[in-house]
Structure 1
Amino acid sequence: MLHGHGDDAYLYKHAIKANFSTNIWYGGKSENLNTFIKDNLDKIYAYPEAAAESLNDLIALDQNVSSDQVLTCNGATEAFYLIAQAYHSKTSIIITPTFAEYEDACMVNKHQLNFINWSNLQSTTLFAEGLVWLCNPNNPDGRVVEKTFLETLLKNNPKSTFVIDEAYIDFTDAISSAIDLIDKYPNLILVKSLTKNFSIPGLRLGYLISNKVMVQNIRFFKPPWTVNSIAIEVGKYILQRKQSFLPPVKQYKSDRKEFAEKLAQIPALKIWPSETSYFLIELEKSSASELKNYLISEFGLLIRDASNFRGLNEKFIRVATLTKEKNQLLIDALTQWSKLN
């Protein structure tokens, strides 16, 4: 059930000069990693580890938890589906607008769905039993929830299980991971990505962390071999050199600030605040789909039509910060578009 995602460049015949639709760290491509992958291609001729055990152990070491608190997955999305499956036919509350796959995973597994807009979420909000899905930092708007806020929610809702998606935690310095709350609150599941921050989305790597009992219950539903041999080796390679692969957050956010300020000078654009490298833009004229088609056909620039995020409408796009040169391409194109509208 694909409700639509960013980076749909494969759908277009036009050459893409700059892809603002995907919120992946743009500077993470590594020639050393390319060489490493080539040197390990022979691993495809044997079955991978059934549960990515060696990578699982390394993730546990990196996050300072035990191996049986970690479940390595084929991207964070597999983790969402496994969690929803473990809670089949239960109730889920999703804080919106947010990543569509939470809703998809819940619908497939026959959850009773309820939605709360981010603007209505308070630290004192009380939930019924079931799952609460919260993206922190949030996709698509880059807003964050402080750890004290989250801890109050966990404390006040012991019968609710909170699925906190930290896929973009390395894209902000406004908050830190809630990993230190794992052993304190049995109603917490953290989901993390190894693809967005390390720029390897095509390899599909992610994991979840929780208490041992929770992880064991979710692991029951996981098929073997969902993480392939190359992905396992790449995951280990990157984690052993983690600091050299992570995005430079302060510079990244500084570039985003400059990018957003220049875009804000263009008439008919409202820039939404963000604590990450990506942000929402609300259009006063035209629609997201019209603008997306215009930018592709006239300039070879791809943006994210954000109208299909629950809680948003046809006036919203999302863009990610790229290099200053590529950012300028979008600034120039939107300036020209604004003059035509």
Structure 2
Amino acid sequence: MTEGHGDDIYRYSGLVKVNFSTNIWQYPDLSALKRFMASKLDFVASYPEPEPYSLEHRLADDIGIEYGQIMVTAGVTDAIYTIARNIAAGRRSGIVGPTFSEYADACSAAGVVYDYFGDAEEAAVKSDVVWICNPNNPDGRVIDANGLAALIASRPSVMFVIDTAYSDYCRAEKLDVSTMVGRDNVILLHSLTKQCCVPGLRVGYLTASTENIRFLRRHRMPWAVNALASSCAEFLIDNPPVIPVDMLLAESKRMQCAMAAMGYDVT
């Protein structure tokens, strides 16, 4: 991780009123989650499951895929670094950018050679592993799901790593998870903590073919997801906070138009 990226709210002793370190809804009602968390504090006295079996089974059932097609991680960043160390090792990566810096940081940490590309098609021609954030962080760019699915199908020798962490913040059609897990050349990244506005919990997961999940499970650290986080994630599956997506999109459009009227180029 590069110094300066991410949330440095710890430096300011409660002085921060609006936190722009992550593009999530700033004002969720987390009161029920906090009460639930308080009731589970005894969990800190014991080890969590060595792998978050209960949460993985619950998520698989909720999504409608097999248990062997999902792996829970300590946030999406944990998944990114695990993939870089194991799937991307020894292969050339292409990052569709500008985008979230952790794909490049993870590749650098793993000794993976990478280049940036302006579009997914070019990256797929010139790379063995393609990293795509869709919707993109931070500019919100969305690649059409049908076009992306067609690209994945047309390049079976290329591994596509697609970060869908912000998919709940747009109305665009999403890649069908149940279809994608049937392909050996795509891994989808998902962020429960973005979906539920709790980035401090650090719970993410990836969905992929049974073969890819089996390979990645062999290389993940035991007890990586703590007991409170796993338990709270199960609670949030049933009790997700309400995200006012239409209001946020309308406000984004209003700001884009206002800034454009001031003479700025707006993405």
Pairwise same-fold verdict (TM > 0.5): yes
Range that drifts further, 20-29 or 161-170: 20-29
Check 1:180–1:67 CA distance in 2 against 1; reply closer, same or farther (3 A cut): closer
Other-structure match for 1:113: 114
Post-superposition CA distance 1:165-220 (Å, at most 9, x none): 00000000022244143244221100000111211111100000001000011111
**Mapped pair 1:259 → 2:248:** no
Q: Is the 8 A contact 1:193 1:205 kept in 2?
A: yes
Report the alpha carbon displacement of residue 29 of structure 1 after superposing the two structures with TM: 3.5
Equivalence for 1:94: 95
> How far apart are the structure 2 equivalents of 1:264 and 1:10?
34
Q: Distance in 1 between matches of 2:183 and 2:86?
A: 19
How many residues are treated as equivalent by the alignment? Answer: 266
Choose from 135, 160, 173 the match for 1:137: 135
8 Å CA contact retained: 2:95, 2:132: yes
Structure of greater Rg: 1
Once the two structures are superposed, the pairs formed by residues 150-299 of structure 1 within 5 Å of their partners are: 150-242=148-240, 245-265=241-261, 267=262, 269-272=264-267
Q: Alpha-carbon deviations, 1:134-181, whole Å to 9, x = none?
A: 000001110101111112211221101100000000000022244143
The answer to whether the 8 A contact 2:28-2:243 is kept is yes
Stretches of 4+ aligned residues off by more than 6 angstroms: none
Contiguous gaps of at least 5 residues in structure 2: none
1:75-90 matches, cutoff 5 A:
75-87=75-87, 88-90=89-91
Deviation of the 1:27 alpha carbon? 2.6
- Pair 37,74 (structure 1): closer, same or farther in 2 beyond 3 Å: same
SS in 2 for 1:141: coil
When normalised by structure 1's length, the TM-score is 0.73
Match of 1:5 in 2: 5
Q: CA deviation at 1:4?
A: 3.7
How far apart are residue 125 of structure 1 and its match? 6.5
CA contact (8 A) 2:117 2:123 kept: no
**TM-score scaled by structure 2?**
0.92
Task: State the alpha-carbon separation in 2 of the partners of residues 103 and 132 from structure 1.
Answer: 11
Give the % identical residues: 34
CA distance 1:126–1:50, change in 2 (3 Å): closer
Structure 1: runs of 5 or more not aligned: 273-341
Counterpart CA distance in 2 for 1:204 and 1:13 is 21
Question: Which residue number in structure 2 is paired with residue 49 of structure 1?
Answer: 49
Give the match's secondary structure for 1:195: helix
Distance 1:222 1:14, change over 3 A: closer
Distance apart, 1:104 and its partner CA? 1.1
